[in-house]
Every structure is written in structure tokens, then in C-alpha cells.
Amino acid sequence: MRRFSRLQKLLLTFITIVFLIGCLMGSLRQNSMSNIGYSAWTYLKYGLFNAPVTSAMNAVQDFSNLWHVYQDNTWLNEQLAEQRSYQTLYAQEHNRNLELQGLLELKNAMPEAKQVSCQVLSRPGQAWNERVTVSAGSASGIKENMIVCSSAGVVGLVESVQENTSIVSLLTSNALPSDITVAISMEDGTTVDGVLRGYDASLNRYEVLLFDHEAVVLPGQKVATSGKGGTYASGLLIGTVTGTVVNDDAIISTVYVSPVENISGFSYVSIFTEGTPAS
């Protein structure tokens, strides 16, 4: 067998090494190209498909969440509106119950007095403090000049009567159908008599004339109907003294009286018929 020379062996070894290096480089180049191609496809797929689809799905999800939040807020607002409505109705019914309870207590406190209980039907906006229409008339025995009380005290006099309704002139009106005699309770248990003259709307107070100018009337003392002359039932609260003035003639004193608490708004009244003279 022919043997390779030394030069041939060196050449063969060099060729083998070059071939191995070429194969290795080709393999590495192929892998790099594959990686670059994979990366490019991945970015292209993400930019054209995955990102838009994901964004669209997120937008739909966000809109759905916002819609649910909107519906929840709408429902909560409706519930709050109903709660406010219920609270208003409750307050109205509570006030009416208090009025009816007050009228019942007044009736029990004056069992000898004849009373007709009725409801306020209307109160003109332009004459809010002057008159009201109530649901009792001549069919219930109501007559002109009968005294009318709310749950807090006297609020007016009957001005005119129909069969089933009556118009009540309030004590806060410009003119009353007739004078009301009053009595002021003193600290020593005595009373001072006077007459209700009128109402000062600017100061929200009645003016009561006293004929005993020496009487010491103090703020906070109660003013009620006197019942003298048999015109009205006695002991019906009209208001509370807020101040006094002695006139120049030193004969007649003027006492200022604040009205009862609910004079500006009431739903039920009692009309006292006891002692009222026939028309």
C-alpha cells in the first residue's frame, strides 16, 4: 500500500480543518438567520394582529365596565331620589300626625267646649297670611266669627260660611271680622285683660291694647282668649309676649305678642262653637 507523504498528510489535515470550520460557520449562520426570521415574524404578528386585537378587547372590556358603572350610578341615583321622596313624605305625615295629636290633646283639655275638627283645603298664595278655606260649613254648625285653632293655638276667625266649607280670616290678616278679648297670665296667678287690635307683618307680631297701664307685663308671658262676654271659649293660646310700650296718655299700654308657632303653616284646625252667639 502506498503511504502518504508528509506533505500530503499536512495538506489533508489542513483541508479537513478548513472543511470543519466551514461547516461550523454555515451552521452558525443558518441558526442566526433562523433566529432573525423568527424574531421578525414575531414582531410582525404582534404589530398586525395581537396588539390590535388585544387593544380592541381591552377597549370593549373598558366600555363594558363603564356601562356597568353608569347603570349602577343611575340605579343609586334613583334609590337616593326615592329615599328623599320617602323622607319628605315621612316628614309630612309626621307633622300631620303631630297636628292631629295636638288637636286631640286640646279637645281632651277642654271637654266642655264644642269643637268641629276639619282640614285646610286651600291657602291662596297671594294671601298666604290672610285667609284659608276649611272643610266644614253650615252643615256642621259653623257660623261666622267662630274662633279657629290649630294644634298650637288660635289662628283666626270664621269670615264666611258655605254649606260644606268656610273661609277663615287669619289673625295675621290686615283686618279681622271682630275684636278678640284676651287675658295675659301674670306671675301672681292673676290676669290682665286686653283686646287684640291687629298684626304687624314687618315685625311678625300682634298688638294688644291693655287698659290697665299699671300692670307689669313681661316678655315670655302667655296671651290667651279671655272668654269674657261669652263670645269665645276661654283659655285658647294666642301667643307669647315679646315687649310692651306705654302710650303717651299713660292710660292704654300696647303689648307686642308673637303668634303661635305654626301660624304660617297648618293642615288641620278645630273650630270652637261653644259660647259663640247666633248670627
Q: Could you report the per-residue pLDDT of 122-146, keeping only the tens digit for each?
A: 988 777 788 899 999 999 999 988 9
Phi, then psi, of 241 in degrees rounded to 5: -65, 135
Q: How far apart are CA 59 and CA 74, in angstroms?
A: 22
Helix (H, G, I), strand (E, B) or coil at 71: helix
How high is the pLDDT of residue 97?
A: 76
Q: Which residues contact 138 (CB under 8 A, 6 or more apart)?
A: 161, 162, 163
Instruction: Let me know whether 180 and 265 are in one domain.
Output: yes
Residues 136 and 216 in one domain: yes
Please indicate, yes or no, whether residues 121 and 213 belong to a single structural domain of this protein: yes
Residue 211 belongs to domain with CATH number:
2.40.10.340
122 and 41 together in one domain: no
- Is 268 contained in some domain? yes
124 and 33 in a common domain? no
33, 56, 78: which is the final residue of a domain?
A: 78
Q: Which domain holds residue 74?
A: 1-78
- Gap between the Cα atoms of 209 and 15, Å rounded: 141
Query: How does pLDDT run along the chain (279 residues), one tens digit per residue?
Result: 456 666 666 777 767 776 666 665 555 455 544 455 545 556 555 555 666 667 667 777 777 777 777 777 777 777 776 666 666 666 667 677 778 787 788 777 777 778 888 999 998 877 778 889 999 999 999 998 899 999 889 999 999 999 999 999 999 887 776 778 899 888 787 888 889 888 988 888 999 988 777 788 889 999 998 877 666 778 899 999 998 887 666 566 889 999 998 888 888 999 987 554 444
Residues 29 and 130 in one domain: no
Q: How far is CA 161 from CA 134, 212, 232, 234, in A?
A: 10, 36, 18, 23
Looking at the fold, whether 114 and 44 belong to one and the same domain comes out as no
Q: What does the alpha-carbon distance between residue 153 and residue 157 come to, in Å, rounded to a whole number? A: 12
Asked if residue 101 belongs to a domain, the reply is no
CA 258 to each of CA 153, 157, 238, 242: distance values in angstroms, whole numbers, following the listed order: 12, 18, 8, 6
What residues pair up with 207 in beta bridges, in sequence order? Answer: 198, 256
| Partners of residue 268 on adjacent β-strands | 119
pLDDT, tens digit, 9 for 90 and up, residues 146-199: 999 998 899 999 999 999 999 999 998 877 767 788 998 887 878 888 898 889
Q: Residue 170's closest CA among 128, 131, 124, 115?
A: 131
Q: pTM higher than 0.85, yes or no?
A: no
Grid cell, residue 113, equals 267646649
Q: Whose CA is closest to 148, among 279, 266, 277, 278?
A: 266
Q: How is residue 242 written as a grid cell?
A: 315679646
How many domains is the chain partitioned into structurally? Answer: 2
Residue 104 is assigned to a structural domain of this protein: no
Domain limit, last residue, from 62, 78, 94: 78
Give me the pLDDT at residue 229, please. Answer: 64
Upper half-sphere CA count for residue 105 (Cβ side, 13 Å) = 10
* 131 and 264 both lie in a single domain: yes
How far apart (Å, rounded) are the C-alpha atoms in residues 99 and 95?
6
Q: What is the pLDDT of residue 16?
A: 75
In a domain, residue 91? The reply is no
73 and 114, same domain (yes or no): no
Please report whether residue 93 resides in a domain.
Answer: no
For 139, the grid coordinates are: 252643615
130's grid cell:
290672610
Residues 32 and 118 in one domain: no
Q: For residues 176 and 157, is the Cβ–Cβ distance under 8 A?
A: yes
Residue 99 lies in a domain: no
CA dihedral of residues 37, 39, 41, 46 (deg, nearest 10):
-170
Extended strands (E) in 36-153: 115-122, 131-134, 147-149
Q: Is the domain of 58 the same as that of 154? A: no
